[in-house]
Amino acid sequence: MKHPFLIDTATLQASLGKPGLVVIDVRGRSAYEFGGHIPGAVHTTWHDYSDPNAVAKGLLDPDVGRLQEKLRALGLNNDSSVVIYSNPFDNWGDEGRMFWMLEYLGHTDLKILDGGWVKWVDERRPFEHGQVKPNPGTFTAKVNFGIAIAKDELRKVVKDPGSQTVLLDARSLEEYLGKEISGIPRAGHIPTAIHLGWNGFLNSNATVKELPAIQSILEEKGLRSEQDVICYCTGGVRSSWLYVVLKMAGFHKVRNYPGSWWEWSRDFGCPVEKDIQGLQKVLGYETPSRPS
């Protein structure tokens, strides 16, 4: 049984052209325009909503009015039914980032296309090329601060020895353990964070795994739906996908850290941990034995 956050390809095709439906393609611009897209789909990416003055790319533009205007340009109204899709095998969970951002800005009627562009094409469903320019919408944002966390608040959580909040790192295991990444000042992870890779929840056909399989993965990590959870990655994109997955699994107290590692690693007042031995093991490096 799939979650209400998802819509299947057949249902979406039958709904195309209905009043109030806004289909958002969050792939790259060239893939959208020249590779084809779902008929009527508008295009945008998470980059369009980043803070233009921040080094950390994942931070949202603090000018809510500017965000609002960009969303109105997509034809979005407060009562629109929104379907978001991407190529699930060729991004960082971008559809999850758009889902989280729209929810943060107060939109509630949101769905992700299960299987995305991969399944749509495999099933030979209709598509078109070029740009779609809708009539402007009237969306008015009402920020839901409860599903985001800023760096300073997270630092207090991390430094609180009595905190019961669970931190989830959605990046690759190598990044979590401490692999050096170009452009990132410090490698490692936030202390106490549990590694839970964002890309472990898809089937081979790009659809989302069934809920029992998702719940089994979460239970193996010791996670319970009543816990307070904070997700992060490099720029709040992969962690947004993890946010959606947790919501599907019945977690109600989940927050995303949009600044994520791009921001955290640049502030040397924020603690970082590494596991070099674990990283060497994962990368297949042998630790030289000491002479007796």
pTM: 0.95
pLDDT digits (tens, 9 = 90+) for 17-34: 999 999 999 999 999 999
pLDDT digits (tens, 9 = 90+) for 51-71: 999 999 999 999 999 999 999
Does one domain contain both 133 and 151? no
291 located within any domain = no
Does one domain contain both 129 and 207? no
Show which of 92, 117, 143 is a domain's final residue. 143
Residue 292 confidence class, pLDDT cut points 50, 70, 90 = very low
pLDDT digits (tens, 9 = 90+) for 165-180: 999 999 999 999 999 9
- Is residue 122 within 8 Å of residue 94, measured between CB atoms? no
Does one domain contain both 91 and 61? yes
- Look up residue 83 and give its DSSP letter: E
pLDDT digits (tens, 9 = 90+) for 6-21: 999 999 999 999 999 9
**What DSSP element (H or E) covers 245?**
helix 238-248
Order of all β-strands in the sheet with 254-256 = 194-195, 166-169, 229-232, 254-256
Number of domains in the chain: 2
What is the spatial distance between Cα 273 and Cα 71, in angstroms, rounded to a whole number?
38
Q: What pLDDT is recorded for position 222?
A: 97
| Mean per-residue pLDDT, 192-217 | 96
pLDDT tops 80 at residue 272 = yes
CA pseudo-torsion sign 6, 9, 11, 12: positive
Q: What's the full length of the chain, in residues? A: 292
Which are the contacts of 289, defined by CB distance < 8 A and separation ≥ 6? Answer: none
Does one domain contain both 164 and 273? yes
Does one domain contain both 181 and 252? yes
pLDDT tops 50 at residue 79 = yes
Residue ranges making up the domain that contains 66: 6-143
pLDDT tops 80 at residue 214 = yes
Return the CATH number at 76: 3.40.250.10
Q: What pLDDT is recorded for position 4?
A: 87
Does one domain contain both 139 and 152? no
Q: Torsions phi, psi of 104, nearest 5?
A: -60, -35
174 located within any domain = yes
Show which of 113, 143, 173 is a domain's final residue. 143
Does one domain contain both 174 and 64? no
Q: What pLDDT is recorded for position 286?
A: 59
CA triple 237-59-5, angle to 5 deg: 40
169 located within any domain = yes
Residue 2 confidence class, pLDDT cut points 50, 70, 90 = low
Question: In this prediction, what percent of the chain has a pLDDT beyond 90?
Answer: 94
pLDDT digits (tens, 9 = 90+) for 83-104: 999 999 999 999 999 999 999 9
pLDDT tops 70 at residue 217 = yes
pLDDT digits (tens, 9 = 90+) for 229-242: 999 999 999 999 99
84 located within any domain = yes
Rg from Cα positions in the chain: 20
